[in-house]
Chain A
Amino acid sequence: MSTPDLSVEQLDKRFADHVAVDRLSFAVERGSFFSILGPSGCGKTTLLRMIAGFTVPDRGDIRIGGHSMRDVAPNRRPVNMVFQHLALFPMMSVGENVGFGLARRGVNKAERVRRAAAMLERVGLAGAAGKRVEELSGGQRQRVAIARSLVLEPTLLLLDEPLGALDLKLREHMKIELKQLQAAFGTTFVYITHDQSEALVLSDHVAVMNRGRFEQLGTPQQLYYEPATAFVAGFVGANNRIPGRAVGVDGELVELLTPQGWSVRARRSGPVSPGDAVAAFVRPEVASIELEAAQLPPQMARYAGEVQSLLFDGANSAVLIVEQQTRFEFRVALPQTGRLADLKPGAQVFFGFDPQRAICFTAAAAAAAAAGSAHV
C-alpha cells in the first residue's frame, strides 16, 4: 500500500477546560473520500483546522503526503480548503478567484487565465471567468470554491460542511456533484459534516466523532449495519432506542425488560451480564408491520400495538406505533409497495423484528448515545 495522503498520529488539542481532540490517530488512503461525522462540538472543526494549519496541536503530528506538517505555515501546506460559507473573494471576479492561488505561486497572468478557464470548464462553469461572484447561484459558487482549490492540485482537499448553507433540493444535487467531482479528479477529500446522510452517500470511509475521539471508523455500510458503539447506533441513521435492564443472556441474545415491563430480545454487542442496564437499537426498516399476527415472519417476536401517527415521507414513510401493554413508542418503516399506506391513527396492528438484527449495548455506552443524539 502506498503512503497515505493524510496520517494523523496521537493528536491532542485542549481549550482551557475542554478537550477538543483527544489522542487521535488515523490515516486516509490516497484518492479516497473520507468523512468525519459528528455532532456540533465534537471536535471535528478543530481537527480540520489543525490539518489546514490554522490551529496548532498541543501534541502529536499530522503528516500529509508523508511529510510532517509540524512548523509548516498554513500557506505552505499542500492542502486546500473549501470553507463553510465558501469564503469566495467578493472583490474579485470568478476567474480571479480561481487564479488567486496560482498568482501567489508566481504563475504569469496569461497562464493563470488559461488554467483558471480550463478548471472552470472542468467543473461545468465554462465562460464564467468574467462574472462577479454575486451573479452566481449557490451551487455555482460551490463549484467555484472547489475549482479555486483544485486548480492548485493539492494533495488533500478539506471541506468544512460546504453544503450546510444550501437548501434541501440543491444540497441533494450537490452531494451527487461532489462525488462525481471527486471521482473525476481523484484528489483525496476530507469532508466534515454533522449530516449523516451526506457522510453515508459521499464517502468511501466515515469516522464517527464524539468528544474528541473516533467512535468508529469504517465504510458507510459498516457504520449502518454494524455500529460499534451505542453512540454510532444512535447517530447514524434512524433507530428505535429501547432502554432497560438485561434479565437474561442466552449466547448472543439478550432478553431486555423496559421499566414499563416491555420485554424484547436483541443481539448483544460486547459482554452483557444479567442485571446490566442496557439499550437495544432497532432500525425502522428492520421491523415489520401487519394487520394479522400470523402474517409476520415466524422468527420474529410479535407485539400488538396501535397506530399513533403516520409519518408519510415517500420512500422513507414510517408508522409511529405505541405498544399495547406499555405504551412504548416504536417506529416501523412502511412497506415500499404502498401496501398499508391507508392506515389510520388508532388502527390495531401487529409488529415485530428479528432479534438477530437488533443490537444491544450496555448502558454506559448507551448513555453516551443519548447525550450525543440530543445535540442533533
Chain B
Amino acid sequence: MMLAVLLTPALLWLFALIILPHVQLALLSFRERTAPRTYAASLMQYRTFFSEPLYWGVFVRTAIMSALATVLTLLVAFPVAWIIAKVARGRASSLLFVLCLIPFWVSETVRALGWLILLRESGVLPTLLVRLGITAVPVELLYHNATILVGLVYTSLLFMVVPLVSSLESLDNSLIEAAYNLGAKGPAILRQIVIPHAAPGITSGCIVVFMLTLGNYLTPNLLGGKNSQWFTELIYTQFIVRFNWEQGAAFGFLLLALSTGMVALGLRVSGQRFVDVMRRA
C-alpha cells in the first residue's frame, strides 16, 4: 500500500508525459491525410524520409556529428576528471569541480551567445587574430562544423566529467602503484588498469552525452546558423512551420530509434551491461 503511494507520482509521470504522448505520436506517424479531415493508415511518412536525400542526409550527419562530439567530450573530460579524482587534493579538487559546474549556472542560450560574441566576424577572436597579424582580415568563425562541435563539447563536458570522476575516484591507487611496481609504464597502466576500471563510467558518460547532443536544438542552431542541418531542426520545422505533425512524429520516432540503436551498439562494443552502467551514472 505504502509502496503504491510512493510510486504513484513516478508512474503518473511515466504514463502522462512519456507513454501517452508517444502512443499519440506513433499513431500520428503511421497515417496520412487523404482529404481534409480524413486520414488513412500508411507508411508514407517513413517512405518520404527515405526517398528524400535531404532528410536522411541530415539524419546521418546528426548521428556522425553527435558521435564525434561524444568522443571529443570524452577526450577533453578524461584528463579533467583524472586531475579532479586523482591529482588534486581536498579543496583544490572541489574547486576544480565547481569550475566545471559554473557554466551551467547560466542558460544554454546565454552560453551559446557567449560563443557568438567570441567567434562572430567582428567578435573577440577574429579581431585578435588580425591584431596578431595571423589573418589579414577578420574571418567568420561561426557557422562551421567545427564551431558546432566546440559548442556541443562545451555544453556536454559536465555530463561526462561527473561519471568519470566517480568511477576514477573508486580506483584504488595501490592498483596503479602495483602496476608500476610490476614494470608497467603509463600507457599500459591506462589501457590495462584505468580504462577497464572506469569503463562503466566512460560508457554512461558517453550515453548521456550522446543522447543530449543528438536531441540538442539550440546549440547547433545558434552556432551552425542556417547550415547547421541538425535533425531536431527538421522535426521543429515539420511541427511548427509546416504544421505537418504526421511527418514530424515519424521523424521523432526515427530519432528515438537512432539513439536507441547507437546506445545498444556502444554497450555491445564496450562489453557493458545497461543496468551496471546506469548505476554508475
Query: Is residue A54 contacting chain B, with contact meaning CB distance below 8 A?
Result: yes
- Are the CB atoms of B183 and A91 closer together than 8 Å? no
A85 — nearest CB in chain B belongs to which residue? B174
Instruction: Determine the distance from Cα of A104 to Cα of B184 in the docked complex, in whole angstroms.
Output: 6
- Please, what's the 1-or-0 string for A60-92, where 1 marks a CB less than 8 Å from any CB in chain B? 000000000000011110011101110111111
Q: How many A-B residue pairs have CB under 8 A?
A: 60
Residues of chain A with a CB closer than 8 A to B178's CB: 81, 83, 87-89
Given the known A-B contacts A54-B177, A83-B174, A87-B177, are A101 and B182 also in contact in the complex, defined by CB atoms under 8 Å? yes
Query: Is residue A18 contacting chain B, with contact meaning CB distance below 8 A?
Result: no
A139 to chain B, nearest CB (A): 19
Residues of chain A with a CB closer than 8 A to B140's CB: none
Query: Is residue A267 contacting chain B, with contact meaning CB distance below 8 A?
Result: no
Instruction: Determine the distance from Cα of A87 to Cα of B172 in the docked complex, in whole angstroms.
Output: 8
- Are the CB atoms of B193 and A152 closer together than 8 Å? no
Query: Is residue B109 contacting chain A, with contact meaning CB distance below 8 A?
Result: no
- Are the CB atoms of B183 and A105 closer together than 8 Å? yes
Residues of chain B with a CB closer than 8 A to A143's CB: none
- Which residues 219-259 of A have a CB within 8 angstroms of B? none
- Are the CB atoms of A87 and B197 closer together than 8 Å? no
Query: Is residue B185 contacting chain A, with contact meaning CB distance below 8 A?
Result: yes
Instruction: Determine the distance from Cα of A34 to Cα of B37 in the docked complex, in whole angstroms.
Output: 93
- Which residues 134-190 of B have a CB within 8 angstroms of A? 172, 174-175, 177-185, 188
Query: Is residue B57 contacting chain A, with contact meaning CB distance below 8 A?
Result: no
A106 — nearest CB in chain B belongs to which residue? B183
- Are the CB atoms of A101 and B183 closer together than 8 Å? yes
Query: Is residue A214 contacting chain B, with contact meaning CB distance below 8 A?
Result: no
Residues of chain A with a CB closer than 8 A to B185's CB: 75, 104
- Are the CB atoms of A80 and B181 closer together than 8 Å? yes
Residues of chain A with a CB closer than 8 A to B196's CB: 91
Query: Is residue A33 contacting chain B, with contact meaning CB distance below 8 A?
Result: no
Query: Is residue A148 contacting chain B, with contact meaning CB distance below 8 A?
Result: yes
Residues of chain A with a CB closer than 8 A to B184's CB: 75, 100, 104
B260 to chain A, nearest CB (A): 28
Query: Is residue A52 contacting chain B, with contact meaning CB distance below 8 A?
Result: yes
Given the known A-B contacts A89-B193, A91-B196, are A100 and B182 also in contact in the complex, defined by CB atoms under 8 Å? yes
Instruction: Determine the distance from Cα of A104 to Cα of B188 in the docked complex, in whole angstroms.
Output: 8
- Are the CB atoms of B182 and A79 closer together than 8 Å? no
Instruction: Determine the distance from Cα of A52 to Cα of B185 in the docked complex, in whole angstroms.
Output: 15
- Are the CB atoms of A81 and B181 closer together than 8 Å? yes
Q: List 7 A-B contacts (CB under 8 A).
A: A52-B177, A75-B180, A75-B181, A75-B184, A85-B174, A92-B192, A104-B184
Known: A75-B181, A100-B192. 6 other contacts (CB 8 A): A54-B180, A74-B180, A75-B180, A80-B182, A87-B175, A152-B183
**Which 6 A-B residue pairs are closest in the complex by CB-CB distance?**
A101-B182, A87-B178, A91-B196, A104-B183, A87-B174, A74-B180
